[in-house]
Amino acid sequence: MLRTPTGGAGHGTVTGGDRLMSIGTVLAQLRDEFPEVTISKIRFLEAEGLVEPRRTPSGYRKFTSRDVERLALVLRMQRDHYLPLKVIREQIDALERGEPLQLPVQGPQRELFDGTWEPEGERPTAARVGRAELLAAADVPEEQLAEWESYGLLAPDEEGGYDSEAVTVARLVADLGRFGLEPRHLRAMKASAERDAGLVEQVVAPLRRHRNPQTRAHAEATVKELAALSVRLHAALVQTALGVRLH
């Protein structure tokens, strides 16, 4: 099993004799402890700045043992503590400064609307917003929100509240509306998002049915990773189709 720092000591330094490894070799080492890890997962963590492998002149990734330890630490904090990548990055930065890790108690957690985290079940409505809050956040009148709902772009729950992500959806729909895009034009985007969600569910379903509770818990982190990758792919495809670059 891979060993990673758990206290005040920083990551091991790279020595001149440190053997460089391919991404396939790294995957083989990590799978002893993380059987669900994939090459795309490693690449995703690299894209998020959580590991920085060297590159050969031909562009191939080469990892050090320190990179493998760092990846294992990231995966362990996701699996055991359900931390978002932003918090994991902060924890690792602190560790490399010689500060001790500040990890929460183990158990399923969720991110609240204000950006804080808490154990599941303590505040069942904390991550939701009311209708008045949604209208204020999107800066739209009641009749406009009702129109969006009629086209299925937003939907309240049985108690009339909304998931906090509805705020982002409402603001984006409002911004697109300023360019003349009406709710009827956005139904295709909604349908595409639902197809993407269905594809993610197919991938994650075996993890959720797994007999290992840690594997089932890992399903939520996998959903978030796949969602992020889907969004990035969609953005890249739109930019390619339009022949533009946003950055």
DSSP string, 119-175: ETTS-TTTTEE-HHHHHHHHT--HHHHHHHHHTTS----TTS-EETHHHHHHHHHHH
Q: What is the pLDDT of residue 127?
A: 59
Please indicate, yes or no, whether residues 99 and 169 belong to a single structural domain of this protein: no
At 205-227, the pLDDT tens digits run 887 777 777 777 777 788 888 88
Strand partners, 119: 109
pLDDT at 7 over 70: no
pLDDT at 26 over 70: yes
Give Cα 91 distance to the centre of its chain. Answer: 17
Please indicate, yes or no, whether residues 93 and 38 belong to a single structural domain of this protein: yes
The answer to the question of residue 93 being in a domain is yes
**Looking at residue 80, what DSSP letter applies?**
H
Q: What is the pLDDT of residue 4?
A: 41
The answer to the question of residue 17 being in a domain is no
Lowest average pLDDT, out of 26-35, 99-108, 151-160, 194-203, goes to: 99-108
The answer to whether 96 and 11 have CB atoms below 8 angstroms apart is yes
Q: What is the pLDDT of residue 68?
A: 94
Count of structural domains, the chain = 3
The answer to the question of residue 8 being in a domain is no
The answer to whether 208 and 219 have CB atoms below 8 angstroms apart is yes
Residue with tokens 């957690």: 109
| Rounded Cα gap, residues 164 and 124, in angstroms | 13
Residue ending a domain, among 51, 77, 106, is 106
Nearest in space to 203 (alpha carbons), one of 85, 93, 41: 41
At 74-89, the pLDDT tens digits run 988 877 776 777 888 8
pLDDT at 202 over 60: yes
CATH number at residue 76: 1.10.1660.10
Strand partners, 5: none
What is the pTM (predicted TM-score) of this model? Answer: 0.48
pLDDT band at 145 (very low <50, low <70, confident <90, very high): very high
The whole domain housing 149 covers 107-181
Residue ending a domain, among 73, 90, 106, is 106
